[in-house]
Structure 1
Amino acid sequence: MRRRLALLAVATTSLVLVAFLVPLAVLVSTLAAERATAAATTWAQSVATAAAQGDRDTLDATVRQANGSGGTPITVFLAGHEFLGVPAPRGPGVELAARGRSVTVETPAGREILVAVQGGGDGTMVVRAFVSAERLRQGVGRAWLVLGLIGLALLTVGIVVADRLARSLIRPVGQVAGVSRRLARGDLDARVEPAGPPEIREVGTALNHLAARIRELLAREREAVADLSHRLRTPVTALRLEADTLRDKDEADRVGEAVDSVERMVSQVIREARRFDRGGAPSCDAAQVVGDRVAFWSALAEDQDRPLSLGLAGGPITVGVSGPELAACVDLLLENVFAHTPDGTPFTVELTALPGGGAQLVIADEGTGFALPDPVGRGASGGSSTGLGLDIARRTAEDSGGRLRAGSSPSGGAEVALELGPGLT
C-alpha cells in the first residue's frame, strides 16, 4: 500500500508538473527569441533612420557603431551591389525588402530582420540585422535547468508527503493485522488501539468487538463441553460399582482398570474444556507415557492372542504434548487396532526419537488395512466408528508442531505414524 501511494503521488505530481512546466518552458524559449529579436530590430531601426537622412558618412558611422556593440551584425545593402557593414548574402528576403517591404525571415542559421529604407536618390536601401540561432536561445538552457530542478524538488516533496500519509495509514492497518494474527494463534486477549483515519479506527473497534464475542462464545462452548463431560461421571460410577460385583477378581481388576482409564479421560476433558488460557507450553516424556499405555493394552492383547512387538527408545524423550493428551492419543490408536482387526492379528508399536527433537510413534498391524483412501479426514470411517479417532490424533500432533500419516504397512495392514514436535526440556 505504501508503494502504491508513492507511485500514485509520483504519477499525479508528474502530470501536474508536465502540464505546468512544458508551457512555461515554451514561453521562456519564446520570450528569449522575442527579446533578441527586439534588440536586433532596435539597431536596425536606428541604422535605417541614419540611412534615410541620405548622409553616407553618418550612415557609415552608425553601421560601425552598431557592429562594434558586438550584439547584432548589421548590413546595409545599397542600390546596386554595394553594401556597408558585415558581409552577408543577398538572399530572397533582401530582394523582397528592396521592393519597399520590411520583413522578418527565418533561416536555418537564425533570423533576419530586413528594413526597407526609401527616399534615397539611388533607390531603396535594405538594412539587415541578423540574430543567430544561439542568440535566439540564449539563456533558455539555464532557465530550463532551473525549471527542471524546481519540478524535481516538487516531485520529491510530493513523494515525501505521500510516504508520510502512507505511514499514517499503514501503521494502524499493520496493528490490526498483527492483532488478527494473535487472535488466530489463540491469544484472545489481543486488542487493537484504534488509530488513524475514521474508517480504520472503525475497523479496529469492530475487531475488538469480534475478539470479545469470540471469547464469550468459546467460554460458553467449553463450559457446555465440561458440563456434558461431567454428566458422564454418573454412568462411569455405575460401571465401577458393577465391576466391584464381579466374582472373578482378575476380571474385576481388568474392568476396574478400564473404568479408571475412562474416568481419567473424562476428567482430562473437563480440565481441558475449562482451561481457557493455556499456561505455558505442554510437554511430557513420550517414552514413559507410551510404555505405560502399551503395558495397559498388553493384557487385552494377551487375552486375544495378539502378538505384540514393542520397540521403545530409551527415555526421556520430551515432546510438546501433555501427558494426558498423549495417553489419550495412544489409547485411541491402539483401540483402533483392537476394534478393526480380528483376534490374533499381530501389531507393532515403535517409538523413536527424531534428530531435531520430538519423537515418532508408529503403530502398524497385519490386518486388512484402511477401507478408505484418506482415513485421516474428520468423520471418515469405513466401519461402525465415528471416524474421529485419527482426526483427534492428527490435531494432537499438529498442535505439538508435528504431523500424522496413515497408510498401509509393509504387510498390507494399517500403519499410523504420529510425529510429535519437541517440547520444553
Structure 2
Amino acid sequence: MRWALVKVVLAVTTMVVLVFAVPLGLVVQEQAHDRAMSHAERQSAALGPVLAITTDRTQLERAVASTQAGADGRITVHVPAGRGSSAVEIGRQRVSRADLDTATRFGRASTVVVPGGYALLQPIAVSSGSLAVVEVFVPEGDMTRGVTIAWLLLGLVGAFLVLGSVVIADRLGTRVVRPVRLLADAAHELGQGNMGVRVRETGPSELRAAAVAFNSMANQVNQLLTRERELAADLSHRLRTPLTVLRLNAASLGDGPAAEQTREAVAQLEREVDQIIRTVRARRSAYAASAAAASASAGCDAAEVIRERMGFWSALAEDQGRQVRTAGADRPVRVPLARAELVAALDAMLGNVFRHTPEGTAFAVDVHSSEDTVIILVSDAGPGIKDPDAALCRGQGDGGPGSTGLGLDIVRRVAESTGGDVAIGNSVLGGTEVRVRLALRPSISGGRQRRRRPRRWGQGREIRAADGSSRPTDGTAAPGRSPYGS
C-alpha cells in the first residue's frame, strides 16, 4: 500500500511537471529567439537615416562600424545602382542573390537561414528612390542564449518537486500503513494467544474505527475466556466443598468393611474430580496467563473477596464447631489480580484448613496493606507443621495420589504473578499460618518479572493491618504432620 501510494504520486507529479515545464521551456526558447531578432532589427533600423540621406561608401562604412553588429562584421549593406551612381556592397554577403531580389521585390523584412545562424534582410528606401537591403547576421548562439540554463533550472525544479512529492507520499504512506501493520501484528499476537494485546487508536478515522473494533473484539474474547476460566475454577469450588464434607462424614463412620468401602469410594471420587480439574486447567493453560494479565489490569477488591468467601465457608465451619475470625476486610483493598484468581487461591487455603485440621479447630483470615504490598494471612489453631519448607516443596507438582497439586501451587502462582511470594510459618493461634504477599508494584529485572522462591514466614516480625493496627507473628506450633501438602 505504501509503495502503491508512492508510485501513484510519482506518476502524477511527473505528469504535472512535464505539463508545466515543457511549455515553459518552449516559451523561454521562443523569447530568446524573439530577443535576438529584435536586436537585429534595431541594428538595421539604425542605418535607415543614413541610407535616406546618402549612399556614399565612406559614409556608409562609418555608419556600419558605429553599430554593435557592424563592428562585429555581422552587417552587410546592399545598395543597388541608381541614376548616376553605381551599386555599393559593404560587408560580407551570406545570403543568395535570389533572397535579396525577393526582399527587394516584396519590400518587407524577412529571415533567411544561413550557415551558422540566421540572416535578417531589411529593405530601406534610399535617396535615389530605390530600395537598399541591410543584411544582419544573427549567430545560432544568440538565438539560444540562456535557453540551456533555463531548461536546466526547469529540470532541477521539476526533479525537486518530484522528489519532494515522493518523500511526502512516503511519509504519508508510512503514517497510513503503520496503524495497519500494528493492527495486523496485534491480530497475529491475538491469534497466538496473547489476550492482553491491544491496538492504539491512531491514524485516519477509518483506521481508528478498525482499531476500536479490534479492541472491542479482543475484550469480548478475553471476557469469554475469563468466563470459561471462572467456570473451571467454580467447578473446583463446587466439587471440593461437598467432597470435603463427604470425606469428613465418611471418617466418622468408624471401623468396618462398609465404612472402609465408603472411604475408599470417597477417595476414588476425589481422585477422579482432581483429574477432571487437572484436565480442564491444562486445556486452558495456553490462555490463562494472558487472560489473567488482561483481567488483572483492572484488579479486584481483596477485602470484598475475603468477605464473600468467608461467608461461603462459614456454613461448614458452623457445622464443625469452628470459630472463625476475619480482620482487615472492612475497607477496600485493591490488588492487581483477577477476582477468579484470588477466589481460587483463597479457597485452596481454606480448603486445606478444613481438610487437615480436626473439627472444632479455630482459624482466621487477616488482610494487611501498605503502599506497595498486600498480605493475606490464613492461620489456624491446628497441630502445626514440622518442616514448612518441605510442605512448600510438596505443594509443587502433582502432589501424589489424591492430590491435584493445585493447593499451594495455585496460591504460589497467584502471588508470583504480582511479583509476590508465599511463606508458611507458625501462627499465634498455635497452628499453621500461610502468608501470601501480593506486590502492588512488581519488581522488574531485565524486562522480566523475577520469580521468587517460596520461603518460610519468619518469626518475630510485625505487620501492619489495613486498619492501622499491628501484631507480631511469633508463635510456636505443636509438631505434627504437614497439612499443606496439596
Matches within 5 A, 1:343-358: none
Which residue does the alignment assign to 1:270?
280
CA gap 1:68/1:114 in 2 versus in 1, 3 angstroms: closer
Which residue does the alignment assign to 1:63?
64
Q: Quote how far apart the aligned CAs of 1:118 are.
A: 2.5
Within 2, Cα distance between the matches of 1:224 and 1:2?
A: 46
Within 2, Cα distance between the matches of 1:130 and 1:69?
A: 10
| SS across alignment from 2:50 | helix
Within 1, Cα distance between the matches of 2:21 and 2:73?
A: 31
Within 1, Cα distance between the matches of 2:179 and 2:270?
A: 53
Aligned residue identity for 2:111: V
| SS across alignment from 2:46 | helix
Tell me if the contact between 1:116 and 1:126 (Cα under 8 Å) persists in the aligned partners.
yes
Which residue does the alignment assign to 2:35?
35
Q: Quote how far apart the aligned CAs of 1:193 are.
A: 1.7
Aligned residue identity for 1:94: L
CA gap 1:131/1:23 in 2 versus in 1, 3 angstroms: same
Within 2, Cα distance between the matches of 1:200 and 1:70?
A: 75
Which residue does the alignment assign to 2:21?
21
Which residue does the alignment assign to 1:105?
111
Within 2, Cα distance between the matches of 1:246 and 1:11?
A: 94
| SS across alignment from 1:102 | coil
Q: Quote how far apart the aligned CAs of 1:102 are.
A: 1.7
Tell me if the contact between 2:95 and 2:112 (Cα under 8 Å) persists in the aligned partners.
no
- Aligned counterpart in structure 2 of residue 179 of structure 1, from 180, 186, 195: 186
TM (norm. structure 1) is 0.55
Matches within 5 A, 1:19-418: 19-56=19-56, 57-66=58-67, 73-79=74-80, 82-107=88-113, 109=115, 110-121=117-128, 123-223=130-230, 263-272=273-282, 276-278=287-289
CA gap 1:224/1:105 in 2 versus in 1, 3 angstroms: same
Aligned residue identity for 1:89: V
| SS across alignment from 1:128 | strand
Within 2, Cα distance between the matches of 1:207 and 1:106?
A: 77
Within 2, Cα distance between the matches of 1:207 and 1:71?
A: 82
Q: Quote how far apart the aligned CAs of 1:230 are.
A: 9.0
Which residue does the alignment assign to 2:394?
none
| SS across alignment from 1:125 | strand
| SS across alignment from 1:277 | helix
Within 2, Cα distance between the matches of 1:69 and 1:257?
A: 129
RMSD: 3.9
Q: Quote how far apart the aligned CAs of 1:123 are.
A: 3.3
Q: Quote how far apart the aligned CAs of 1:115 are.
A: 1.3
Which residue does the alignment assign to 2:322?
none
CA gap 1:164/1:188 in 2 versus in 1, 3 angstroms: same
Within 1, Cα distance between the matches of 2:100 and 2:201?
A: 81
Within 2, Cα distance between the matches of 1:72 and 1:266?
A: 115
CA gap 1:182/1:72 in 2 versus in 1, 3 angstroms: farther
Which residue does the alignment assign to 1:288?
none
CA gap 1:108/1:43 in 2 versus in 1, 3 angstroms: closer
Runs of 4+ in structure 1 over 6 Å off: 225-233, 255-261
Within 2, Cα distance between the matches of 1:171 and 1:141?
A: 44
CA gap 1:69/1:114 in 2 versus in 1, 3 angstroms: closer
CA gap 1:59/1:202 in 2 versus in 1, 3 angstroms: same
Within 2, Cα distance between the matches of 1:170 and 1:105?
A: 61
Q: Quote how far apart the aligned CAs of 1:178 are.
A: 2.1
CA gap 1:141/1:274 in 2 versus in 1, 3 angstroms: closer
Tell me if the contact between 1:230 and 1:270 (Cα under 8 Å) persists in the aligned partners.
no
Structure 1, residues 23-62: CA drift from partner, whole Å, max 9, x if none? 1100100000000000000001112332122241322211
Structure 1, residues 117-143: CA drift from partner, whole Å, max 9, x if none? 224438321111121222201111011
Aligned length: 273
Structure 1, residues 314-347: CA drift from partner, whole Å, max 9, x if none? xxxxxxxxx98xxxxxxxxxxxxxxxxxxxxxxx
TM (norm. structure 2) is 0.48
Within 2, Cα distance between the matches of 1:71 and 1:152?
A: 40
| SS across alignment from 1:77 | strand
CA gap 1:156/1:78 in 2 versus in 1, 3 angstroms: same
Structure 1, residues 92-137: CA drift from partner, whole Å, max 9, x if none? 3311112251232242643322111224438321111121222201
Tell me if the contact between 2:64 and 2:75 (Cα under 8 Å) persists in the aligned partners.
yes
| SS across alignment from 1:158 | helix
| SS across alignment from 1:111 | strand
Within 2, Cα distance between the matches of 1:71 and 1:172?
A: 71
After TM superposition, the structure 1 stretch with the greater mean CA deviation from structure 2, 207-216 or 76-85, is 76-85
Aligned residue identity for 1:269: T
Q: Quote how far apart the aligned CAs of 1:198 are.
A: 1.8
Aligned residue identity for 2:34: E
Which residue does the alignment assign to 2:347?
none
Q: Quote how far apart the aligned CAs of 1:148 are.
A: 1.2
Q: Quote how far apart the aligned CAs of 1:145 are.
A: 0.9
Aligned residue identity for 2:10: V
CA gap 1:71/1:64 in 2 versus in 1, 3 angstroms: closer
CA gap 1:16/1:7 in 2 versus in 1, 3 angstroms: same
Structure 1, residues 366-416: CA drift from partner, whole Å, max 9, x if none? xxxxxxxxxxxxxxxxxxxxxxxxxxxxxxxxxxxxxxxxxxxxxxxxxxx
Q: Quote how far apart the aligned CAs of 1:264 are.
A: 5.0
| SS across alignment from 1:76 | strand
Structure 1, residues 237-264: CA drift from partner, whole Å, max 9, x if none? 9xxx9xxx999xxxxx9x9999888555
Within 1, Cα distance between the matches of 2:169 and 2:229?
A: 48
